[in-house]
Structure 1
Amino acid sequence: MKTQYFFKGVCIYLLVLTLFACGGGGGGSSSSSTSSNTPTPDTPVPIPDYISSNIAPNAISFSVQKSSDNSVNIPYVSVTICQPGTSQCQTVGNIILDTGSSGLRVLSSALGSLQLNTQTNNNLPVLECASFLSGLTWGPVKTADIKMSSEVASAIPIQVIGDSDYLSAPNSYCNGLPPLQDTTTLKANGILGVSLLISDNQDYFSCSGTQNATCTAITQTASLQVKNPVAAFAANNNGLVMQTPAISPAGASSATGTLYFGVDTQSNNSSSGASIIPTNSIGLFTTTFNGLSFSRSFIDSGSNGLFFPAGSQSTVLKACSLSAGFYCPSSTQNYTASVSLRNNVTGTINFSVANADTLFASNNYAYSNLAGTQQGQFDWGLPFFFGKTVFFGISGKSSANAGTGPYYGYK
């Protein structure tokens, strides 16, 4: 999940939790940086956490809307977390819906009095360091039931971050990256990672001593790793579908969409008529744009813009004067890219790039034409989703129309 956070009045460039950054396999992203010549953002105004509505037994709502820190183009959901096999539960809102990572990560402060058992290895607690370009999440792996509408992922591993017993990640184990351990740094109460992959393939440790600061790296089997909750549902577990409404080129103050669980398992998640993009084993495919091919392409709801190299368009897609990391063309530019679809068919994707400084001057928080710079890969972030139904086929799981994952699809 790559997010360049924009606060009204200031843009802070931050790469947060990208599946393809490091640790989880796949490609890399550009280095993170922070604009040093921007004004201090306005003091955030508390806004109630977003709580999803149950749309169908296999569907919940998500919302792109204003948040307390005024970041833009971030889709939020809520999840219900329970002590396994009990009715002791806590519903947590303002969870980032991220199709670019795998597994649920939640702040300890959002769990209230809920008590979850910590996973152990040789009687020592298991902790995870999920390392990404801009920072890391550090915390114990715990076991929980995860509920969304009528779907339940029973007794699966999740990561609890900001836990008072495990406050600091040892630098020698986690590359000394900045911690993303609270709502100020994470910009949410957690992340729901629902990528094409089942397990997160991050770094795990068994730890002891004060604050469990003495750690030994361990190898966790896939079944013990933090995992995509959708893959653990009893049914509707072969993927998911995000349906997002079209919005004005000027943006919208908010946009509410629907997250369906399963692909071709119910009448509401049919992939009939969709363009299917097969991927390699780690969820990457090739985008051809501006005469160049980018083999490290992915579709990621956790990225708040379209991120790609300007290349020969650099005189048109100029860097913004206020919004670091974003493009600010003098007028909106319309482009077409191509992707390889199933059965050797070529598909086309039309997209637009507007002036980010102009967009951010509005009172809107959802944009379909926000784009920024990225080297060596093409990140189809949240603007790709507006006006589309987007499909995610989980690796190794099959569907009647779309085939066997991993794949993306859109219509």
Structure 2
Amino acid sequence: MRTMQSHIAGKFRGWMQAVVAVALVSVLAACGGGGGSDSSSSSNNSSTTLNGGSLPASPTQQPIAATAANTVAITVAQGVNGVINIPTVSVTICAPGSTSNCQTINNIQVDTGSFGLRVVGSVLNSSLLSALPVSTIGTSQLAECATFADGYTWGSVRTATVAIGGETTTAAVPLQIIGDMASSTVPSKGCSGSAENTASDLGANGILGIGTALYDCGATCANATTAATYSNYFACPGGTSCARTAVPLTQQVANPVARFASDNNGVIVQMPPVSNTGSSSATGTLVFGIGTQSNNALAATQTFTTDGYGDLNNSVYNGTTVQAFFDSGSNAYFFADSSLALCGSNYAGFYCPSSAQTRSITLAGASSTTASVSIGILSAATLFSNGSNYAFNDLAGQIGGSSSFDLGLPFFYGRHMYYGFDLTASGGQAPYVGF
């Protein structure tokens, strides 16, 4: 995940590769993105002219109703802190072994660019928080520093039973409790930037990471050699003097959907179309499982095998090979393009072209499948001029370097986005994404 903030908007992407960083979107008003795919059966056939330029035809798929047990409603609205283009769901957390010591937490961000559940400790009631066992390495308390482009979350690793919609994990799973440890315990190495340990800082009460990986770090943190340099986990004897540590997979923060009894091999993120000039809100559906029920068949027009983190590493933009990814945790498209004018300081980092723009990228994953998709871009200043809108399909901003192309939440509007989990360790499917 990757975040950038201004007084009105920000961006969010979790870079969960070798160094294993996590991230969150955090902004204060309205933002979005959009565009259509010329290869998607859901696209309409007409483009839109705005500000003297044109936008590509937008996809028009509608979400199914979130009425089945393997579904939950996704909401994009004002949320906890006026964050723009931030999709959220409700999650229920229970103390291990209990059906009564539970709490339902609203405004948990849906993030396909990270893996595992993270909840702000201050939103949990004291009875539940105290009943969530703190994980240990030897005799030391286990903590995690999840690092972002502009900051980090710090807190203990605990275990809880997790329920979303009508699905429940078969046992307690590891999750991060954000902000439950004193700032004085933050390690001097391994955490950088500003602390993002409150709901106000995050723009949400937590993050539900449901990307293609089953663990938030995997082999990098399980192996003592690589963990010594790259682990985001820390052993804290007595809750202090925290030092990097290797952590077995069984204790790493885990994708809770993969721990459901059924409907556990992937997810479908379904968002409705929104107006090219923005909408005050948007309601979609998160569907659990792919091909496990009558409501979750794999019906993608384009499907790409990815690396373990859901990235399409052989994609091409403007003649340059880029790592592309579909990230619901990014509130805009983020990529490098010197031909697009940047906004002023009020919307620093976002693009403000004088007329509507269309850009295309050729997507290519680990297999030979390729597809060209087009996205639309409107000036962030134009979009943000309506302070009551929180859902946008054509907001874009600059990313550092030219090696990445972040297809954030704007790409999701009007589409069904599929994420097949990496089950190769158990002899199952390789990770994939599709739409």
Q: Please classify the TM superposition score into its range, dividing by the shorter chain length.
A: 0.7 to 0.9
- Mean CA deviation greater in 114-123 or 171-180: 171-180
Partner residue of 2:289?
Answer: 262
* Structure with the larger RCO, 1 or 2 (CA within 8 Å, 6+ apart): 2
Give 1:323 deviation, angstroms: 1.1
Cα distance in 1 for residues equivalent to 2:195 and 2:366: 40
Cα 1:300–1:168 change in 2 (3 A) is farther
Q: Pick from 8, 16, 36 the counterpart of residue 11 of structure 1.
A: 8
Cα 1:17–1:207 change in 2 (3 A) is farther
How do 1:5-404 residues align onto structure 2 when only pairs under 5 Å count? 5=5, 10-11=7-8, 13=10, 16=12, 18-20=14-16, 23-24=19-20, 55-87=67-99, 88-112=101-125, 113-114=127-128, 115-153=131-169, 154-163=171-180, 165-201=181-217, 202-209=231-238, 212-285=239-312, 286-294=314-322, 296-311=323-338, 314=339, 317-321=340-344, 322-340=346-364, 344-362=368-386, 363-374=388-399, 375=401, 376-396=403-423, 404=429
Cα distance in 2 for residues equivalent to 1:166 and 1:338: 46
Cα distance in 2 for residues equivalent to 1:20 and 1:307: 17
Q: Residue 330 of structure 2: SS of its match in structure 1?
A: coil
Partner residue of 1:409?
Answer: 434
Cα 1:343–1:135 change in 2 (3 A) is closer
TM-score by structure 1 length?
A: 0.84
- Mean CA deviation greater in 383-392 or 59-68: 59-68
Cα 1:20–1:357 change in 2 (3 A) is farther
CA distances 1:168-196 after superposition (whole Å, capped 9, x unpaired): 44342333431111122122111111111
CA contact (8 A) 1:119 1:126 kept: yes
CA contact (8 A) 1:198 1:228 kept: yes
Structure 2 residues not aligned, in runs of 5+: 30-64, 218-230
Give 1:405 deviation, angstroms: 2.9
CA contact (8 A) 2:71 2:285 kept: yes
CA contact (8 A) 1:320 1:357 kept: yes
CA contact (8 A) 1:11 1:324 kept: no
Q: Residue 242 of structure 2: SS of its match in structure 1?
A: strand
Give 1:55 deviation, angstroms: 2.4
Partner residue of 1:2?
Answer: 2
Give 1:343 deviation, angstroms: 6.2
Kindly indicate which of the two structures has a greater share of residues assigned to strand.
1
Give 1:200 deviation, angstroms: 0.7
CA distances 1:24-49 after superposition (whole Å, capped 9, x unpaired): 179x9xxx9x9xxxxxx89xxxxxxx
Paired AA for residue 405 in structure 1: A
Paired AA for residue 11 in structure 1: I
Cα 1:299–1:186 change in 2 (3 A) is same
Cα distance in 1 for residues equivalent to 2:21 and 2:3: 19
Cα distance in 1 for residues equivalent to 2:420 and 2:396: 26
The root-mean-square deviation of aligned C-alpha atoms, in Å, is 2.5
Aligned residue pairs total 373
CA contact (8 A) 1:341 1:347 kept: no
CA contact (8 A) 1:129 1:169 kept: no
Q: Residue 157 of structure 2: SS of its match in structure 1?
A: strand
CA contact (8 A) 1:65 1:253 kept: yes
TM-score by structure 2 length?
A: 0.80
Paired AA for residue 293 in structure 1: T
**Identity fraction in percent:** 39
Cα distance in 2 for residues equivalent to 1:378 and 1:178: 25
Structure 1 residues not aligned, in runs of 5+: 35-40, 43-52
Give 1:351 deviation, angstroms: 1.1
CA distances 1:292-332 after superposition (whole Å, capped 9, x unpaired): 221x2111000000011114xx2xx1001231111111111
Partner residue of 2:222?
Answer: none
Partner residue of 2:55?
Answer: none
